[in-house]
Amino acid sequence: MPTNPGPISQSEHNTTPAIWVCVAVIMAGTVVGGIALIEWMWPMFWTGVGLFLAGIAAASYVGIMDATSEYAPPSSPQRSDD
């Protein structure tokens, strides 16, 4: 029976404040766009789309995919599930 390795340490996720800001901007764009669709406010909708796309571009620039364990470069440590 495998033992529980416990919570993942901060070092295994490689997260940075810049990545969390990008996630917040993407979420804000989604919320603004969703509220705009409900209220039929097209300028606000396109603002939400702009926020979302800006967050995606910024996340790509700061390397958000390098901070996830599934897509991390081979040189970084991986968590073993056995």
Per-residue pLDDT tens digits for 24-82: 999 999 999 999 999 898 999 999 999 999 999 988 888 777 766 665 555 555 555 55
Give residues with Cβ within 8 angstroms of 49, minimum separation 6. Answer: 29, 33
Mean pLDDT for 8-37 is 80
Q: Are 5 and 78 in contact (CB under 8 A)?
A: no
pLDDT at 62: 82
Is pLDDT above 50 for 21? yes
Q: Are 49 and 29 in contact (CB under 8 A)?
A: yes
Label residue 10 by pLDDT band (50, 70, 90): very low
- For residue 46, count other CB atoms closer than 10 A to its CB: 13
pLDDT at 35: 93
Residue entry with tokens 């070092």: 11
- Which of 4 and 25 is assigned the larger pLDDT? 25
What is the torsional sign of CA 16, 19, 23, 29? Answer: positive
